[in-house]
Structure 1
Amino acid sequence: ARFYGENAEAVIGKTPEHVHGVESAAPVRAQEAEVLRGRDQSPNEIQVMAGGAEHSVLILKFAVRDENGAPLMLCGMGVDITERKRVEQELKRVNAELKSLLDNAPISIVLKDLEGRYLAVNRKWEEYFDRKAEDVVGKEPEAIHGPAQAQALRVQEAALLESDKPSARELDFEINGETRSALLNKFVVRDNAGTPIMLCGMDVDFTAQKRLERELRAGEQRLRTILDTTPNAVLLFDRVGSIVYINPAARAFAEIAPDQSLADVPRISFVAAEHREAAIAAFNAALEGSRQDVTFDLIGLKGTRRTIDITYVPYSVAPDGSVSLILSIGRDITERRRLEAQVRHLQRLESVGTLAGGVAHEFNNLLGVVLGNLDLLSLQLKGDDSKQKLLERIVASATRGAELAHSMLSFGRRAMLAPVPTDVAELVSRTLKSMKDAIGERITVELVAAPELTHCAVDPVMLDSAIHQLVANAVDALPNGGRLHIGVEDRWVSADEGILGIEGREGHYVVISVADYGRGMTSEERARATEPFFTTKKAGEGSGLGLSMVHGFVHQSGGHLAIEPNPAGGTIVWMYLPAEGRMGLDGSKENQALPMSSYKVLVVEDEDELRVVTAAGLRRHGYVVVEARNASKAIEVLERHRDIALLFSDIMLGGGMDGFQLAKWVAARRPTIQLMLISGYAGAELLPADLAARGVPFLNKPYRLEELVNQVAAMIGRPKVPLRVVS
């Protein structure tokens, strides 16, 4: 009665409709009808109006029956559960919000009881471990994870309960064949009394982060390897030019020891003084935000000088455009510059040599006419001593002119060489003996040679001349006496050594070194030493052609000439001559000589005067001579004269075939004809070593009549072996 706000007397005798209202009475009537039919009823929740408010009531009704089971009355008991329902609804709301919070959390969350059984997991946990909550809740760790991982979790949770402190640890584990990495954070959840009620785990997946870290470490290691192994210098500078970072190559350039702290490096500029202004300007321009390229000489802490190509790049640029760091990348171009200078030097020599060769060729033709006529005149003036002496002086002057022309050909690499197998050590020893007086007693000569290893194919006359020149230069460098060291050795020189210049190739070389201990040469003097007409001697004391001749001879022989400072003071000149050389045919066999009257010589020369005087000289010595001024005329003569025994031809013939081509034509069609070639100018198309290997003798212009006659006489007895023609 109090629940409904009425006294008991007022309620007794009233119907449910009167007490509850028509709408609320309907379920009451239905429940009572069921009870009267003998059906037991469970507690039933109904909504009733009481005190002007709706209440939730849990009603239990039953029938009171007599001994025959007939219902006598209905008894009902009701409990107001309105507050309980309110609390349940609030709890549902809170649980829904908690689940929403857990499912929307960016980390996986798991709740466990104190025995380790799973109570709840959020959506992120489901995604991370690829399991559904209904498959996990209520289960032990062993049913979810492998034995090892489950054991690790139990150990961690036991330690957590024992220490009562939150724990955090990294754990790698396999999920569907993929290794995942997580940071496991666990703590104990307590009630208001402080009693542990559950365990909470929050797992942060940092698989992607660890993968990125590994990639960053690998990238950093690759970059470190590149910086440590690149031959380029890489540095970082701050705005005032202090070194922030330096790689090993840059340390080597600047000669800073690997273990030397940058703080120990003196605050000096490594840039050569003459280039410092340009380097500073480029650095300052880079600070303004633009890339800069500059070339300067860098001088290391030990004094080594290098030419460096530098690129300055703004490295750390703030949003306002200000630059705090400059990246510097440097390339050592010292060797490239040296090779470029060598190429320019060789090009200059080539130009001068071409000019000198052309002049010498014409000069030799003129001298040939002069000397030939002088020889003929000498034959006519036999017995006239006074006139013979006059002729001798004229011949001597013409001969000196021929030597000058030969010198011009040498430094231009146009000289006619006659390479033969030569014992270089023996030749050097013989040359030094012949120079004993020129060297003098105040200079001690040391010769170190390995004669059994120093053979090569070389022109011995030109090599003797080259050694004379080098020794004479060394003697001039020792005006007060001293020591002169000469070495001869066989050495394998590889391309990696970089000492053979741009024209050399690796292989065995016979190396001749001439070292003095005098004042030495400056770097500029060494660079220009082989230039024609360059000399450090006083006016009138040197022509400047000596080393040019040696340089031309060595290079024409396939070798290399190097001039270096002597570490003990003075200068060392190195001659590298290829040890592998073509050997000439053995012409020492003697056969029965042919009578001169049966020996017909064809003289081919485009210089008319020289051809005439040559033919006259041969005729004076009893030979039958026919003449031709070019190759086509020579072929016509050969077709008419089937008895020609010797072809004597100039190499350089005007128009059509040259002498070499003519010789090949004759060798192919008239193999029994002997061949002799002459030239005052050996161009690039002529390969003297090849011709020497084929047994074809040469005469250099200008030649003496006696030389020519003796050579022809020697060839009369030569076996007429067909010439092998190489196309």
Structure 2
Amino acid sequence: MNMVGNSISLAKKTRLRLTLLVGILFLSSITSLWILHEIEETNKHEAHIVNEAGKLRSLDLRVMNLLNLPPSSSDTTPELRKVQSDIKRIQIALQQAQGEAFRQLIKDLYVRSPSALNERLNSAVVEAIVFKERDTPSSEVSRLKVELESLFNELDSAVTQIESFIIDRNISTSNIITFLTLLSFLLTLLVMVCIFMPVDRALSKYARDTNRLLAIVGSVTECIKSVDKDFTLKSMNSAGLDLVGVDCISKIRGMSVLDLITPEYHEHFKDAVNRVFEGETVDLEFEIISLDGTRRWMHQMATPYRDPESGKITEMVAVTRDISKKKEHADTLAKIQRNEVTNSLSSGIAHDINNILAIVSGNQQLLSIKNKDESLSPYIEKIQSAVTRASNLTTKLLKTSKESPSKMEMVTLEELYDDLNPLLQEAITNNITLEWDNNYDIKEKINKYDLEDAILNLVLNARNAITHHGTISLRTTIENTVNQHEDYFAVTPHKASKYIKFVVKDNGIGIPRDKFEDIFLPFKTFTKTGSGLGLSMVYGFANRCGYGLSLSSKVNEGTCFSIWIPISEQSYSASTSTNISSLGFNQYTRSLNIVLVDDEVDVLSVNKKLLEDNGHSVIDFASAHDAIKYLDNAAQPVDIIITDEVMPGEIQGHDLIHRYQHSYPIILVTGFSKTKNTRGLENMILHKPFSINALLEKINTAIKTNAAA
């Protein structure tokens, strides 16, 4: 813009110079014309004077002829008087001579003194008249003739001088005219040089600056466009044309920009244009649909363009950037943050529920052990059944978390579907047809753990979306690429050379596109029968394992969910770790000295009671700090430490493990799923709620493992 501004400034200066030079040329032309006019008038007058002076020569012959006539001639006197009259007229004409030099010459020759030629000539003619009237003697006439002849010789000499002066004046006038003509030509040439050289320089510079500016604008990777007050597109650079989907500005020049903007942003764009034409600089985000159908998010910074001449705002100039990827990244980050918050909330809720369930389960087990009334046994069992159901619910909540524990069990597709088939047949109602289209030629093994639950949850979600009769189809394929433009990807899979794609498709009610993100939130359901946890579990499973999760759906036509498993990540080797609990050790029968740590007093008391009823000695602490004091100065041997993970204060359960794992067997009890603090401690963890048998088995395993180490 600076270049154009400089060129415009140069053009203004050139125009001012042009105006001044044209004015000078006009004034010089007017002056030259006036001088030429005056010279022409002077020449006419002088020519008249010369003509009159020349007539004096003719008087010579007339007077001499009259004097030679006989005195009796009747025409002599009148002719002489006529000559006298002509002399007077010539005298008057000579006195009217113009021009200082010419007038001085006439005075010198004719009218300066009484002895001037005209006076002398007049006197001689008067005398000739008298001679003729009086019949003067011939001797006097002869004398007069001699005098007149001498006088006429002087007149002839005077006229010759006048003619010579006029010739010289004509030569000077010609020189003046030549000079003025040459001067006019030089002035014209100077004006042309002064005009055309700066103009040519200005135009050349303007052309260079314009071409350079166009090259710069054309090379910018962001869209630069201009729009008038009626939202009509006036110009756009090549980057903008690429975004719009055309190769030539003529194809879209004159069209309304609103035709490219999604309808929901029309009013925002109109308001932005109006504000720009009021002098503001406005930035705006909006979505466009290119002529090829591609949707893009754009960020626009718009500023007013003022006409250099009038200073009025004539257009809106805007730099528009494609922020689709940035928007996608921001949405992904927001989604991740939202899921993290949701996962954290779910884990917290599951932890608190598990603590409550641990209290309920422990007391139910005490009731079951001490109950002597058989009539109460069914009710006590119902308590345990309710605890189990609640525990399953918290397990589902934990599976929505990315930190949910993962196990490994590698199976083929055929083995996976053999295990799934009975579950799916039981879950599907009679009004729904289940179709299988599975490629059992796929030999790659996959991790069975949680994948079964994910497929089952997708089938249950499809079942709930079918209101009357419908079909659910399951299909397994091998895909070489992931086409993210065809489907909505809730989770993008890790990169791989190939993918196993599990597809669950229904012809139910479908899902509106604006609900795609919400359906993966816990407890978010759009059906009357759903719990809102199924899809959240699938999302957590895919996110945790690095799998992909996509969906496509149309309202009243159906939905298709797909799980993408990268094959390159399936080169798992069978786990060679040995589960100590499966080695067949028998439960310890001797009494153990157990240190029990838990901040939940009710959990602490019920677990202490259960252990004591099984013959063990228990020392309980409600804080890790008190337990450390005891352990560092224990008066009696300690066989095992059982500690809760999350407790008030700085010292947590995993801190006790790191402090005493080389001195004592330790069991870590938690209502959470796996966290960063418990990684690598999986063999020591016991999840709440648990039965007394599970606790005793874990104690047995921990002591045997510690002894083997």
Asked whether the two chains share a fold, i.e. TM above 0.5, the reply is yes
TM (norm. structure 2) is 0.60
**Structure-1 residue corresponding to 2:691:** 704
Distance 1:592 1:299, change over 3 A: closer
**Structure-2 residue corresponding to 1:686:** 677
Determine which of 620, 625, 628 is the counterpart of 1:627.
620
- Which secondary structure does the structure 1 equivalent of 2:318 belong to? strand
1:484 and 2:482 correspond? no
- Which secondary structure does the structure 2 equivalent of 1:326 belong to? strand
Taking the aligned partners of 1:592 and 1:472, their CA distance within structure 2 comes to 39
Taking the aligned partners of 1:267 and 1:542, their CA distance within structure 2 comes to 45
Taking the aligned partners of 1:368 and 1:658, their CA distance within structure 2 comes to 19
- Which secondary structure does the structure 2 equivalent of 1:420 belong to? coil
Distance 1:489 1:278, change over 3 A: same
Distance 1:242 1:366, change over 3 A: closer
Report deviation, 1:374: 1.9
Contact 2:233 2:255 in 1 (8 A): no
Determine which of 369, 391, 396 is the counterpart of 2:385.
396
Letter in 2 for 1:615: K
1:536 and 2:526 correspond? yes
Q: Per residue, is there more helix in 1 or in 2?
A: 2
**Structure-1 residue corresponding to 2:135:** none
Determine which of 631, 643, 648 is the counterpart of 2:642.
648
Taking the aligned partners of 1:495 and 1:661, their CA distance within structure 2 comes to 45
Taking the aligned partners of 1:571 and 1:308, their CA distance within structure 2 comes to 30
Taking the aligned partners of 2:479 and 2:642, their CA distance within structure 1 comes to 39
Q: In the TM superposition, what are the counterparts of 1:243-258 in structure 2 within 5 Å?
A: 243-251=233-241, 253-256=243-246
Contact 1:485 1:514 in 2 (8 A): yes
Letter in 1 for 2:312: S
Letter in 2 for 1:420: M
Letter in 2 for 1:532: P
Report deviation, 1:258: 6.0
Deviations 1:637-686 (A, max 9, x none): 4342775443322111232310111111113x42xx33332211348653
Distance 1:468 1:570, change over 3 A: same
- Which secondary structure does the structure 1 equivalent of 2:214 belong to? helix
Determine which of 371, 380, 387 is the counterpart of 2:361.
371
Distance 1:500 1:280, change over 3 A: closer
Q: Per residue, is there more strand in 1 or in 2?
A: 1
Contact 1:487 1:513 in 2 (8 A): yes
Deviations 1:141-196 (A, max 9, x none): xxxxxxxxxxxxxxxxxxxxxxxxxxxxxxxxxxxxxxxxxx9xxxxxxxxxxxxx
Deviations 1:194-248 (A, max 9, x none): xxxxxxxxx999999879866754553333222xx43x4x333344333332345
Determine which of 272, 276, 282 is the counterpart of 2:272.
282
Report deviation, 1:506: 6.0
**Structure-2 residue corresponding to 1:319:** 309
**Structure-2 residue corresponding to 1:465:** 453
Letter in 2 for 1:371: S
Taking the aligned partners of 1:675 and 1:466, their CA distance within structure 2 comes to 34
**Structure-1 residue corresponding to 2:422:** 434
Contact 2:667 2:698 in 1 (8 A): no
Report deviation, 1:568: 13
Report deviation, 1:347: 4.5
Contact 2:671 2:687 in 1 (8 A): yes
Q: In the TM superposition, what are the counterparts of 1:321-360 in structure 2 within 5 Å?
A: 321-360=311-350
640-649 or 389-398: bigger deviation: 640-649
Contact 1:288 1:322 in 2 (8 A): no
Report deviation, 1:520: 2.5
Taking the aligned partners of 2:610 and 2:420, their CA distance within structure 1 comes to 38
Taking the aligned partners of 1:330 and 1:567, their CA distance within structure 2 comes to 34
**Structure-2 residue corresponding to 1:146:** none
- Which secondary structure does the structure 2 equivalent of 1:534 belong to? coil
Report deviation, 1:381: 4.4
Taking the aligned partners of 1:701 and 1:357, their CA distance within structure 2 comes to 13
Distance 1:329 1:416, change over 3 A: closer
Report deviation, 1:490: 8.8
Determine which of 514, 517, 520 is the counterpart of 2:510.
520
Report deviation, 1:516: 1.0
- Which secondary structure does the structure 2 equivalent of 1:442 belong to? strand
Identity of aligned residues (%): 22
Contact 1:511 1:574 in 2 (8 A): no
Larger radius of gyration: 2
Contact 1:298 1:305 in 2 (8 A): yes
**Structure-2 residue corresponding to 1:611:** 604
Report deviation, 1:401: 2.0
Letter in 2 for 1:697: M
Taking the aligned partners of 1:582 and 1:661, their CA distance within structure 2 comes to 32
Q: In the TM superposition, what are the counterparts of 1:162-201 in structure 2 within 5 Å?
A: none
**Structure-1 residue corresponding to 2:284:** 294
**Structure-1 residue corresponding to 2:590:** 597
Taking the aligned partners of 2:444 and 2:249, their CA distance within structure 1 comes to 46
Contact 1:238 1:244 in 2 (8 A): yes
Contact 1:632 1:656 in 2 (8 A): no
Taking the aligned partners of 2:571 and 2:652, their CA distance within structure 1 comes to 26
Unaligned regions of 5+ residues in structure 1, if any?
A: 1-50, 52-82, 109-182, 184-202, 723-727
Contact 1:453 1:490 in 2 (8 A): no
Contact 1:631 1:656 in 2 (8 A): no
Distance 1:209 1:311, change over 3 A: closer
Letter in 1 for 2:470: G
Contact 1:454 1:490 in 2 (8 A): no
Query: With CA pairs under 8 Å and 6+ residues apart, which has the higher RCO, 1 or 2?
Result: 2
Taking the aligned partners of 2:497 and 2:677, their CA distance within structure 1 comes to 25
Unaligned regions of 5+ residues in structure 2, if any?
A: 1-156, 158-167
Deviations 1:580-639 (A, max 9, x none): 899977124677848542755433222233223323434444555443333233334434
Determine which of 310, 327, 341 is the counterpart of 2:300.
310
Taking the aligned partners of 1:529 and 1:683, their CA distance within structure 2 comes to 25
1:570 and 2:565 correspond? no
Letter in 1 for 2:643: S
Deviations 1:282-331 (A, max 9, x none): 32343444433334343444655444333333335253333333323333
**Structure-1 residue corresponding to 2:631:** 638
Report deviation, 1:496: 13
Distance 1:270 1:494, change over 3 A: closer
Taking the aligned partners of 1:379 and 1:503, their CA distance within structure 2 comes to 51
Contact 1:309 1:330 in 2 (8 A): yes
- Which secondary structure does the structure 2 equivalent of 1:529 belong to? helix
- Which secondary structure does the structure 2 equivalent of 1:429 belong to? helix
Determine which of 434, 440, 444 is the counterpart of 2:435.
444
Distance 1:287 1:497, change over 3 A: same
Distance 1:492 1:632, change over 3 A: farther
Taking the aligned partners of 1:621 and 1:488, their CA distance within structure 2 comes to 54
Letter in 1 for 2:438: L
Contact 1:492 1:506 in 2 (8 A): no
The total of aligned residue pairs comes to 530
1:713 and 2:700 correspond? yes
Distance 1:592 1:542, change over 3 A: closer
Taking the aligned partners of 1:546 and 1:451, their CA distance within structure 2 comes to 27
Distance 1:705 1:291, change over 3 A: same
TM (norm. structure 1) is 0.59
Distance 1:650 1:469, change over 3 A: same
350-359 or 703-712: bigger deviation: 350-359
State the superposition RMSD in angstroms: 5.2
